Structure 1
Amino acid sequence: MRRSTDEILVSQAGSLPRTPELIEANEQRAEQAARAEKTGVPLTDDYTELLGREVAALVQREKDAGVTVPGDGEYGKSMSSPVDYGAWWSYSFQRLSGLSLGGVDIWKDAEVHRSSPGNVVLTSFSDRRDRQLFHDAYHDPDSGITTGRKAQVFPKCTGKIEYTGQDAIAADTANFVKALDDAGIEEGFMTSLSPGSASRIANEYYDTEDEFMYACADAMREEYKAIIDAGLILQIDDPSIAENFDQINPEPTIEDYLAFTQKRVDALNYALRDLPQDRIRFHLCWGSWHGPHTTDIEMADLVHTMLGINAGAYLFEAGNVRHEHEWRVWDDVELPDDKIIVPGVVSHATNVVEHPDLVADRIERFARRVGRERVIASTDCGLGGRVHPQIAWAKLETLAEGARRATARLWG
């Protein structure tokens, strides 16, 4: 994994805006898949060719914007709408066996669970503490924070979990490797879902939630290996580490939550066993929705748990105004010598495009604490489906310019 040896490198957190052509093709493909299931008529190859062209154009556009460690934009993770908060997760439903539609709208109909001391369980998505505190705002269609909250019917586990996405991940990696080669870029990353997040659906097959989670670990490990074997950097996406805190009622103690979370860390480390840490980066986030986030866990409470994950780099939100102040954590926490950090210094949570001097300030704060060579500048979270494409690309450009200004300060 590259380090910022001569300049502050620039990356992003994963999802980038899909083009109208790709969104339309995703919608048509979903319709074709439904027909194919009924009639047995196979899908056409038009989509595969289009996806390859779209990924190639995206990587070149990232390069032109100043991104030095690009991703594939998660283009292989289907979005059939310009606004989509869940493609990073829901793509796994097509790559795992043992799942069937549960017919439950997670925002309205999901069963509500309650935690107790020493017994932490997730409540429903619709019963998050953040949504309770700001009930009126979340239910006001003009508030601006209900975007993307359309009905979502997610599956449940009713059989043995196994990985079935070999063809999909082979196509994703081939498209991305070719795009990187065509653009003359030496390193890129591809995202994949963690076991802890993959298992955040109803389980009716495995005897325990831990057994279900480890089944997901064994399955997703195949995807992890495929990404690394293709010569790419693997990025693990796992909101379950931080975002779960808001999804537990009543609020647990920090000790109980960390014990609950450590099980998810252990399952992830099990899935990553024997894989090269210097080819793995981990993305921590508090959730991508545009809401108040007053119920987030503090970074200071979670940082050591994060560092216990077997990765060589850690991405986390640092531009989001709810968490920007947490750069001070690194005054007291020593980053291991073989690790780097990839703080988000422009945010997906606002339409305001950050000034490059502010971006440079944010980068410099981290560089002064952990060393300039161990900081890569990034976005807080994925921009695709969260902000307008024109704004997303402006944010990537200001991110790159901010990195150039930080480089001048740090190497000047």
Structure 2
Amino acid sequence: MTKIHRAEVVGSLLRTDDLKEARRAVAANELSALDFKHLEDKAVDDAVELQEKIGVDNLTDGELRRSFFCDHVMTALDGVSEIDAPPFDLFHVTTGERAQMSMPATVTGKISGKRMLSVEEFTYLRGRSTAPLKATLSSPITLNYLWHPEYSTEAYSDPYDLFRDAAAVLRNEALELARLGCEYIQIDAPELIHVLADENVWQRWLRYNLQPERIVPEAIDIINSIADPIPGVTFGLHVCRANASYLAVARGGYGRFVSELVPRATNFSNLLLEYDDERSGDFAPLADIPDDKKIVLGLVSTKRAGLENGDEVRARIHEAARYTGLDRLALSTQCGFASMESGNDLTMAQQADKLRLVVDTAREVWS
């Protein structure tokens, strides 16, 4: 079994106002690329210092060089054009309100890798810390948001062919990360739980001819191919239900995910599962996860500023352990703090408090 890190960082961290302004300025040709990179580097240095000071068991660069967690499939691929496709509906699962969203880009041609986004992230991070490091990649299935029947079918009449091409690009990136010394790669695949657990999302896939019934087995097999074993590299699979309180787009437990997808996710040693509110259901499905997988419980919310009660977090860990045993578990926040550059509605101090709670609780539970 893989070495267990009990206190995990999922991925993104809040951007400072200075970094947000710098990204705007360089896009407007008001700041040179080199000056922007110096500011970006300084932001990563500060993120490393924060994580090392708090004592998390593995570090990321906070995804501070990205505008979206899924920049790999938004900006780093040829075949994607800046065409705003017609908006689609999302439904807030708590309020029932309908929200419309359109993506800033659309697949219009055969895709291929334009650049490797995570290589700069990892090599710079490796030079700044000797702690265990984690690189994050987004799932190829995230491209479902960029595939549109009106614009994409000439290049990809079958969206799953698009997903396979994206997986090949991401596999090459994983191989390059491994060559550079990365020992932990996390694939973020929120769409898996969105489709399987929430009827509204299933229906959106049907309307767009995305064929949600092929999530099992095709989509998970495509994701699993990225994680074909690489000596010395651990692969983690992270799923969540939209990382913003104002856009809570999916509700539903892990039953189908565990029974239908996890058995096919053979190349993933770690499962990072959101469990910060009632949308995730109970812990009972964890009993059916194979014994060779570590389960990272996302019990501390990055969507809400209020700090969780440490006693309650510990109690929930022990509740989950009834189904899995304590030794297979670890703790994290439910997601990153800034899946989009704007970030969630927390202060830097509140972010630090949340990470410190993860670390302190993990030390107490697994001392």
TM-score, scaled relative to structure 1: 0.76
Q: What does residue 120 of structure 2 align with?
A: 171
Q: What does residue 225 of structure 1 align with?
A: 175
Residues in 2 aligned to 1:257 and 1:311: alpha-carbon distance in whole angstroms: 22
Structure 2 contact 13–336 (Cα < 8 Å) conserved? yes
Residues in 2 aligned to 1:76 and 1:261: alpha-carbon distance in whole angstroms: 33
Q: What does residue 44 of structure 1 align with?
A: 33
Q: What does residue 355 of structure 2 align with?
A: 396
Q: How does 1:254-333 map to 2 (within 5 A)?
A: 259-276=214-231, 279-291=234-246, 296-304=251-259, 305-309=261-265, 310-323=267-280, 325-330=281-286, 332-333=287-288
1:219 shift after superposition: 1.5
1:335 shift after superposition: 2.7
**Secondary structure at 1:160's aligned position in 2?**
strand
TM-score, scaled relative to structure 2: 0.84
CA offset digits 1:147-177 (Å, max 9, x no partner): xx8x7542111222111123x4332111111
Q: What does residue 160 of structure 1 align with?
A: 110
**Secondary structure at 1:341's aligned position in 2?**
strand
Largest Rg, 1 or 2 = 1
The answer to whether the aligner puts 1:362 opposite 2:316 as a matched pair is yes
Return closer, same or farther for 1:291/1:50 CA change in 2, 3 Å cut-off. Answer: closer
Q: What does residue 9 of structure 2 align with?
A: 12
Residues in 1 aligned to 2:277 and 2:23: alpha-carbon distance in whole angstroms: 30
Residues in 2 aligned to 1:155 and 1:15: alpha-carbon distance in whole angstroms: 22
Structure 1 contact 96–165 (Cα < 8 Å) conserved? yes
Count of residues in Structure 1 that have an aligned counterpart in Structure 2 = 347
**Secondary structure at 1:249's aligned position in 2?**
helix
1:257 shift after superposition: 5.1
Q: What does residue 134 of structure 2 align with?
A: 189
Q: What does residue 352 of structure 1 align with?
A: 306
Residues in 2 aligned to 1:258 and 1:297: alpha-carbon distance in whole angstroms: 17
Q: Give the counterpart letter for 2:258 in structure 1.
A: V
Return closer, same or farther for 1:335/1:387 CA change in 2, 3 Å cut-off. Answer: farther
Return closer, same or farther for 1:241/1:295 CA change in 2, 3 Å cut-off. Answer: closer
Q: Give the counterpart letter for 1:272 in structure 2.
A: A
Return closer, same or farther for 1:175/1:100 CA change in 2, 3 Å cut-off. Answer: same
Give the alignment partner of residue 27 of structure 1, picking from 16, 24, 29.
24
Structure 1 contact 101–153 (Cα < 8 Å) conserved? no
Q: What does residue 333 of structure 2 align with?
A: 379
Return closer, same or farther for 1:154/1:400 CA change in 2, 3 Å cut-off. Answer: same
Q: Give the counterpart letter for 1:313 in structure 2.
A: N
Return closer, same or farther for 1:394/1:345 CA change in 2, 3 Å cut-off. Answer: same
Q: How does 1:101-250 map to 2 (within 5 A)?
A: 101-104=82-85, 109-110=86-87, 124=88, 126=89, 128-130=90-92, 134-135=96-97, 153-166=103-116, 168-181=117-130, 185=131, 187-202=132-147, 203-204=152-153, 205-232=155-182, 233-244=184-195, 245=198, 246-249=200-203
Give the alignment partner of residue 70 of structure 2, picking from 77, 89, 92.
89
Residues in 1 aligned to 2:216 and 2:344: alpha-carbon distance in whole angstroms: 27
Q: What does residue 59 of structure 1 align with?
A: 48
Residues in 1 aligned to 2:282 and 2:313: alpha-carbon distance in whole angstroms: 15
Structure 2 contact 7–359 (Cα < 8 Å) conserved? yes
Structure 1 contact 277–312 (Cα < 8 Å) conserved? no
1:314 shift after superposition: 0.5
Q: Give the counterpart letter for 2:344 in structure 1.
A: R
1:201 shift after superposition: 1.0
Structure 2 contact 118–137 (Cα < 8 Å) conserved? no
Return closer, same or farther for 1:96/1:294 CA change in 2, 3 Å cut-off. Answer: closer
**Secondary structure at 1:180's aligned position in 2?**
coil
Structure 1 contact 277–311 (Cα < 8 Å) conserved? no
Return closer, same or farther for 1:368/1:260 CA change in 2, 3 Å cut-off. Answer: closer
Residues in 1 aligned to 2:50 and 2:95: alpha-carbon distance in whole angstroms: 41
1:312 shift after superposition: 0.9
Structure 1 contact 358–402 (Cα < 8 Å) conserved? no
Q: Give the counterpart letter for 2:141 in structure 1.
A: G
Structure 1 contact 13–379 (Cα < 8 Å) conserved? yes
Structure 1 contact 319–344 (Cα < 8 Å) conserved? yes
User: Structure 1 stretches of 5 or more lacking a match?
Assistant: 37-42, 79-86, 111-123, 140-148
1:68 shift after superposition: 1.5
